[in-house]
Amino acid sequence: MLQTALNCKLVLQTVRVKERSMKRRTPRIDTTPACSKSGFSMIELIIVIAVIGILVGISLPAIMQARGVARKTQCLNNLRNITFGLTQYDHFHDRLPASGYYSDPSDGPVGAHHSWAVSILSHIDQANLLEMWDLDKPITDPVNIPLTQSQIPIYVCPMDSSRNNEKKGDLSYVVNGGFGYTTRTNSGVGDCPIDRHGRLLDLNGDGQACTGDSKIDDEDRQLFKNTGLFFMENWKSGGTMRNHSIADIHDGTSQTFLVTENVRTGYDPDETIANFADPNPFRSAFYIGNPCRHGNCSSGNIDYSLCNACEDKINSGLWSQEGRSPVPNSFHPGGVNMAYADGHAKFLSEHIDGAVYAALASPQGLLLEGTPLRQVNVSGNDF
């Protein structure tokens, strides 16, 4: 009986050993794929590209807008620095500089000396440059020519796409010239006020201008001075001496234009002397339109809407040739940056009312009361 039980136990152990051996020999079935592929399908790739395109399309305008704002801010900072230079010049000299200086000797040719941008160099941290300048010689003199090619950063607006790529003597800013500038007529009459189109300025409306008779012409010249802030002057020879100081401004320094942008001035590849030192009236100042219909400034014939219209309108000359559009021009959409005689600078709409535009250009509009040129009163909400 005992032997039988031992035999059964031995058989059972043998069976279990065989089962374990069979389990060890049984191959495991690998359910993992022999080759696992990774990456995007074509549809997924197209979706990713489309999403990236949408993100770029959304972000680029924002980036461009931010850059535009930065450039506009830089232009404003340049204007503030230039305004500081002009007011400092006024502080030390009791007058503002001429927009441009010319020599006009009776026995010799007219010579282009320099512009306001040279006069204020010592007040914008460029005293070393001014010390090398021979102010008694024209800008075409061999002594001065290399100096005219100096690049002064605050004289160039980063939005000025016509700026000189070689960075030589560029300029993007011009001073307030009012209705026009003075010249010598073909008949030899000097200090003759004309508008930017070359028309005589008969500002008192008496039907006479630049006659050569001072009793007749001086009233026009006085009205001309009332309506502008910077003027052409003769350098040590010639008869034109006309200027203002900040203290002369009757209409409020916060409501009188001082300097603005014009991308159609400065560097010109077709003009060898076109640079910041050039006193050319089309390159050194800006002018508002002539409000006198057909050049007649008599009573009832004044239309101040003409001051900001047609070729005289702000930004009307953006695509003109260099040196051919002496009005405020900038590539800032909708207007220009403008600095005022009290030192502040801000954006000015190109659609400003012509009468308001004329009043802001005039430093002594109050003195025009009782004349056909009487101007409107301006408040801060008008511009």
Q: With respect to residue 329, please indicate whether it lies within any of the assigned structural domains.
A: yes
Give the least confident one: 66-80, 149-163, 247-261.
66-80
Give the least confident one: 27-41, 75-89, 326-340.
27-41
Quote the tokens at residue 113. Answer: 């000396």
pLDDT, average across residues 256-274: 89
Query: Measured between alpha carbons, how far is 307 from 238 in angstroms, rounded to an integer?
Result: 31
Residue 28 confidence (pLDDT): 52
For the chain, the distance separating the N- and C-terminal CA atoms, rounded to the nearest angstrom, is 126
* pLDDT value at 330 more than 70: yes
Q: With respect to residue 139, please indicate whether it lies within any of the assigned structural domains.
A: yes
Q: What are the pLDDT digits (tens) for 59-72?
A: 666 666 666 667 77
Number of domains in the chain: 1
Q: With respect to residue 6, please indicate whether it lies within any of the assigned structural domains.
A: no
Q: With respect to residue 75, please indicate whether it lies within any of the assigned structural domains.
A: yes
Residues 6+ apart with CB under 8 A from 376: 304, 355, 356, 359
Residues 6+ apart with CB under 8 A from 279: 98, 99, 100, 101, 102, 112, 113, 114, 115, 139, 232
Residue with tokens 């039988």: 4
* Percent above pLDDT 70 for the chain: 85
Domain carrying residue 334? 62-382
* pLDDT value at 379 more than 70: yes
Q: With respect to residue 154, please indicate whether it lies within any of the assigned structural domains.
A: yes
Averaged pLDDT of the chain:
87
Q: With respect to residue 366, please indicate whether it lies within any of the assigned structural domains.
A: yes
Helix (H) or strand (E) holding 111: strand 111-115
Query: Measured between alpha carbons, how far is 284 from 266 in angstroms, rounded to an integer?
Result: 8
- Residue 234 binned pLDDT confidence (cut-offs 50, 70, 90): very high
Residue 92 confidence (pLDDT): 97
Q: With respect to residue 33, please indicate whether it lies within any of the assigned structural domains.
A: no
In 3-state terms, what secondary structure has residue 260?
strand
* pLDDT value at 312 more than 80: yes
Q: With respect to residue 17, please indicate whether it lies within any of the assigned structural domains.
A: no
- pTM of the predicted model over 0.85: no
